[in-house]
Chains A and B, each alone.
Chain A
Amino acid sequence: MPPVESSQLIIHMSRAYGSLNRLIGIVRQRCFEIESMNVQSESADHYRIQMVVVSERNVVHLLKKISQMSDVTSVSASKLTRVLETA
């Protein structure tokens, strides 16, 4: 089993009808779970979204899929090291 990794995505995207649903749908369909998500309205027609996703899958593929959405102006990802059970 490949290890579960979490990544932080920063997405700038249009506020067109349904764009957030589309984004969340793609994340789920490519087998990623959303751990946290922060949506800000950058302008009247744009969001800035900060999203932490986890999966065994390679985040690069998700990144490419998101970048291909016609709503999206830019997307970037950085891997996060998760602090686990420091008992």
Chain B
Amino acid sequence: MNGAQLLIACLENEGVRDIWGYPGGAIMPVYDALLDSNIKHYLTRHEQGAGFAAQGSARSTNRTSVCMATSGPGATNLITAVGDAYMDSIPMVVITGQVPSYLMGTDAFQELDVFGLMLPITKHSYCVKHADDIPRIVREAFQLAGSGKFGPVLIDFPKDIAFQKTEAKPLPATKDLPPISHCDPEALRIAKDLLAKAECPLIYAGGGVEKGNAVAEFRTFVETTGIPVVHTLHGLGCLPGNHPQFLGMVGMHGSEAANKAVQGCDLLLAIGSRFDDRATGKLTEFAPRAKAIHVNLDPAEFGKLRVVQSALGGDVAQNLVELTMPLSIKPWVEQTQEWKRTYACRYDAPFDSVFAPRLLHDLSQAMDDRETFICCDVGQHQMWVAQHYKFTHPKYHLTSGGAGTMGFGLPAALGVQQANPQARTIVVTGDGSIMMNIQELATIKRYNIPVKILLFDNQALGMVRQWQQLFFNNRESEIDLSDNPDFCRLAEAFGIPSMRVVHRDQEADVIQALKNTDGPLFIHTIIDRAANVWPLVPPGASNSEMLTEEGVSVG
């Protein structure tokens, strides 16, 4: 066996069934070995597409996925997807070809220091020095990526090592991941005491609930205690969007009810969340009169941004089970319910064009029992999804939260659909974002992946336009996209059926088409260029200083 064949054997041994990638000189021995493997390789049309497709697979299954590229430019094309995975804690093993080890350090053709480039955006990185090391490295890479706080791990693989003969064999399968630490009894005692004494407690929950496999325990905790809930972008769906205790998303584009509740609470339970600036606004004014309990798998989050009275590390689910108890907090709950009623979203926009918030809201309400994944791009449309689509579980919402990477949605959906063949997968994208990885329409066609694309075309980089309008005196700078291509003809050129939507009367048709079309579909929806995302907390301001369509709302 040579090193490349051993690498493939080790991947098979780890249960890898598919790889997203793009070949080139330095990785050719691995592509040759793939021909004799059961692993299915999906060829994207850009390495970034491969990185995001692998992410889509990992995000929708919580299983470590694999992407692969050649050395130099192939590897740098992966970097955005790897950095994005790092910021959102996505388990991924990234394999890059490298020039032969005897040429490394000589500025050889397509040689770049990929190990160095990826150092700060990976959980760990390897450069394979000898073929005999491959079984250990692959095993460690998978264990690191998929344990603790998840993340991407790089394996840089020089070409001569791929050709090197070896007697080594894949390591026998084990399931012994590093144990997760147990709950801290003293911190638990303090937390229970704080809970029992609180009059206005609030749960601020994020992506760590789902990643910690704790959604069921979370829901029991919420319903038993009766505490109102606000979610971060990645927390959406932990409590179903229609649940009475859910007050909405918190932070920059959070709901008024959610932000008011944060400002008014006397005990904040941060569960699987990390006080990100998009959620907290001005940190010193976030939940200003509250004591805080922080439940998070990662102890490095404790005290990073907020000093808390009780820090509960280790297994999130187990901590929540320990904390579950009935509370009597009726006046506070009624107050939050009143805010929720007062500030409920309105969908009765007066104009004739499609109103994206209404369409997204109605789409989620029209969904049946079939699993439906929504893959967002980045911009206003992403925030409208977060605000108005009622998620029933966090795993159905794929969004680039930490990095906010335009171009994420379409390739991520490929990975989702392939890993969940029975599910429905919908990309919600903007006219800016879709062009960042438009080439992946060819991948949809090639593998006949039945992804639906809902493009909201406002002929602009809408989110940037909105900030220029609000914070730069309406001086529009380089946001105009009025010369967009004809998106329907573009989709058709890739062999994908398309539909054009211009009037609000067509919103119901869009929903039917998204629900009931079997194959891929591209829906080009024209919306008002001037539409904004409301409410909005200006960057750096306190969450009590929300701007709304009508003006400033004082929290």
Contact = CB atoms under 8 A, between A and B. Distances in A.
Interface of A: 17-18, 21-22, 25-26, 29, 58, 60-61, 64-65, 68-70
Contact of A25 (B119, B303, B304): B119
Contact of A29 (B120, B127, B129, B144): B120
A61 B126 contact: no
Contacts of A65: 300
A76 to B, nearest CB: 16
Interface residues of B, number: 19
Contacts of B120: 25-26, 29
B119 A21 contact: yes
Contacts of A61: 300, 303-304
Interface string B123-141: 1111101000000000010
Contacts of B116: 21
B489 to A, nearest CB: 45
Nearest to B153: A70
Q: Which of A26, A58, A60, A70 has the most CB of B within 10 A?
A: A70
B421 interface: no
B519 interface: no
Interface string B192-213: 0000000000000000000000
Contacts of A60: 303
Contacts of A21: 116, 119
Q: Which of B116, B119, B148, B300 has the most CB of A within 10 A?
A: B300
A17 B119 contact: no
Q: Which of B129, B298, B304 has the most CB of A within 10 A?
A: B304
A58 B300 contact: no
Given A25-B120, A70-B124, A18 B300 contact: no
Given A17-B115, A29-B120, 4 more contacts: A18-B125, A18-B127, A21-B116, A69-B124
A58 to B, nearest CB: 7
B64 to A, nearest CB: 15
Given A21-B116, A22-B119, A25-B120, A68 B300 contact: yes
A64 B300 contact: yes
Contacts of B125: 18, 22
Contacts of B123: 70
